[in-house]
Each structure stands twice: as structure tokens, then as C-alpha cells.
Amino acid sequence: MTALLQAEVELLVSVLKTVVLIDRKLMESLQCLWIRTSCAKQFCMSLLWLKSFHFLGSVLLLKFAILLTIGNVTSACNHSEISVTLLDVATDMIARAKLNLPVCSTSSSSSLILKPVDCEEVLRNGQTETGIYTVWPRSRVSEDKPLQVSCDMSTDGGGWTVIQRRGDFGRNKDYFFKDWNSYKKGFGDIDKDFWLGNDNIFALTSQRLHSIRFDLKAVDGEERYALYDTFWIDDEDHMYTLHIKDYTGNAGDSMAHHDNAQFSTKDKGKGEKGSSCALKFKGGWWYNSCHHSNLNGLYLKGYHESFADGVNWLSWRHYNESLEFTEMKIRPNNFRRSAVSEDTPRD
């Protein structure tokens, strides 16, 4: 066998090995593409080179088979110029294909969650920017339907799913004074002021144990927070009963009073302690004879003469000062920043 033919045989083996390698890398990159758009160009380039490799491999294999069949090895020398050209082209293609292999970290492909259930899983998928994302809560009420959520990826490690926001967004002061069905389904603008919906909150918190954080801002610019390490609500059949405890923070504990309280609105609540409280204090909330917090009350923005019907937090600004901004956000209570940091893909 001539040296040139030997080189072609070795090249064919190299081509086939490279094809197998690219096939494997491309399959890994299919997962990478779900979250890493930077891989898309590399993926397409590699796919193009893979097709070329399949063609080149077939040509070389066919040529080698013909040479063996004829048995005239020396005839290869008569085509030395063509063979050298093929070798040069193949060598160049191998180099290009290897350069264009998508590079996605092992951790990102192995830990990729194709349908994140909340913002914590979105964060694990490498999405570190605060913004609007789609999640798929797993619950009998959500039926695996997609849900748009606002994700806070900056506060205390990120991964927070925002379930409520109040602020000066040009709404009427009584915009949150709505009926049961509105609070059940949710309302508002997800990137402004909104209530995510009691069914959605139930779906999110029924998946695993959650913490809840209240971020509060007064009209003078002072900010406080309250964190509860245990939070969930029951389903509609149980009036979205609130379960909340284990407070830490600097805003004071204005939610312990509401633990085990049922949700109430102006048109639905349990007896005198329910809808009458909602009517009196102008919101939908877990009223309990009646409240220490009223974050869905009237947006009065500052001091108000009326009693306790604003966006109030008793343990900080009491009953006659309505807060300027509030956010309620939830996150699995086993969240570990170090684990997310390890799993988060890097560019």
C-alpha cells in the first residue's frame, strides 16, 4: 500500500472519529440552545460541517473501496494530485469542524430545566437578569400551563417569583379593591403593579416549601423588609388560607397576626371577619379581625386621615401612613446561593 493511500486510510479513520464526536457534541448542544442563544451560531456551523463530513467520508470510503476492488494500488499514484487535494481539503475541514464545536459546560447541559416551575429554576438555567419569564407550575389547578412571571434576580441572591407589586403607576387609588374572581385569577400589568392570582400562588407554593419576602418603601425613601421562612396558601376550596411564620427582617412582624386566616374580598369572606373587613379596609387580603398589614388597600401614598385603609404595615409605619412601594416575592426556602452559582452557566 502506497504512503499516499495509507494517509487516505488514516484520514478516513480520523474523519469517522470526528463525525462521531461532532454528533455527540451536537446532541448536547440541542439542550444548550434552549437557554444559551450564543451557542446557536456555533451549532449551525457545526451542523454544516457535519454534513460535509458525511459527504467527504462517503467519497473517501468509495475511493478506497474502488482501489481495493481493482487491486491496482499503484494506480493511486496516477491520481496523486487529486489525492493530495482531497487530503488538504479534509484536513482543513477537520480543523474548521473542531473549531466550531459548541462549547457548553457540562453542568449547564446536565442541570438544564426545560420547563422551569418558578424563578429559582429560571435562575438555575443561567438567566441572571431581573425581568419577565415564562414558567410552568406543576399543580392540579395550573395543569402545566405556561405562566408569565416577574423574576427578581438581584435581591439576596435572586430567584424570587414576584406575586404582588404596588407603586405609583398611574392607577386609581382603589385599583386593588376588586372581587373574589379577580384575586383568584390575578390582575394588573406584570411589569408594573399586579396581583399574580391566588390560584397561581397556590400552584407555586404547593410544589415545595417556600419563603416569602416583603420589600417595603415609604414616601420618604426609607426601605425595610420582612422575610418569613415558611409560606404557603391553601386552594380555593379552603379559601386560600394563609400559612406564614419564622420572621426575620427590619420592618417588624405584621404578618403573624394573619397566620391561618382565610382570604377575603368585598364580595366573599368568612362571616363578619371576612368580607366586612375587606369592605371596610378596601382591599383583598387575609383579614383577621381585621389586620396588621393591608398591602392591597387603597394607594394613598403617605399620610392619610382615614384609618387603616391604605397600603399599611402596622409594625413600621402604622395605620395612617400608606407605603409608596411594596413587593411580595417567594422562593423555595432551601435556596442556596452557592448551589445556584455552581449550576449557573458562564459565558
Which domain CATH number covers 324? 3.90.215.10
C-alpha of 197 from chain center: 18
The residues pairing with 232 across neighbouring beta strands, listed in sequence order, are 243
Sequence length of the chain is: 347
Cα angle 338-342-347, degrees, rounded to a multiple of 5: 130
Q: Is residue 148 part of a domain?
A: yes
Q: Is residue 8 part of a domain?
A: no
Which of 78-92, 171-185, 283-297, 327-341 is predicted least confidently?
A: 78-92
pLDDT of residue 310 exceeding 80: yes
Which of 140-144, 156-160, 164-168, 285-289 is predicted least confidently?
A: 140-144
Query: What is the C-alpha to C-alpha distance for residues 153 and 102, in angstroms, rounded to an integer?
Result: 27
Q: Is residue 206 part of a domain?
A: yes
Q: Is residue 68 part of a domain?
A: no
Cα angle 74-76-78, degrees, rounded to a multiple of 5: 90
Helices (H), 100-136: 106-110, 119-124
Q: Is residue 141 part of a domain?
A: yes
Q: Is residue 6 part of a domain?
A: no
As for how many domains the chain has, the answer is 1
Is the peptide bond preceding residue 290 cis, with omega within 30 degrees of 0? yes
Find the domain containing 160 and state its range: 119-332
Query: What is the C-alpha to C-alpha distance for residues 337 and 158, in angstroms, rounded to an integer?
Result: 8
Nearest to 117 by CA among 164, 151, 156: 151
pLDDT digits (tens, 9 = 90+) for 127-155: 999 999 999 998 777 677 899 999 999 99
Q: Is residue 22 part of a domain?
A: no
Higher pLDDT, 113 or 217: 217
Whether the CA torsion 241, 246, 248, 253 is positive or negative: it is positive
Contacts of 18 (CB under 8 A, 6+ apart): 53, 94, 97, 98
Q: Is residue 110 part of a domain?
A: no
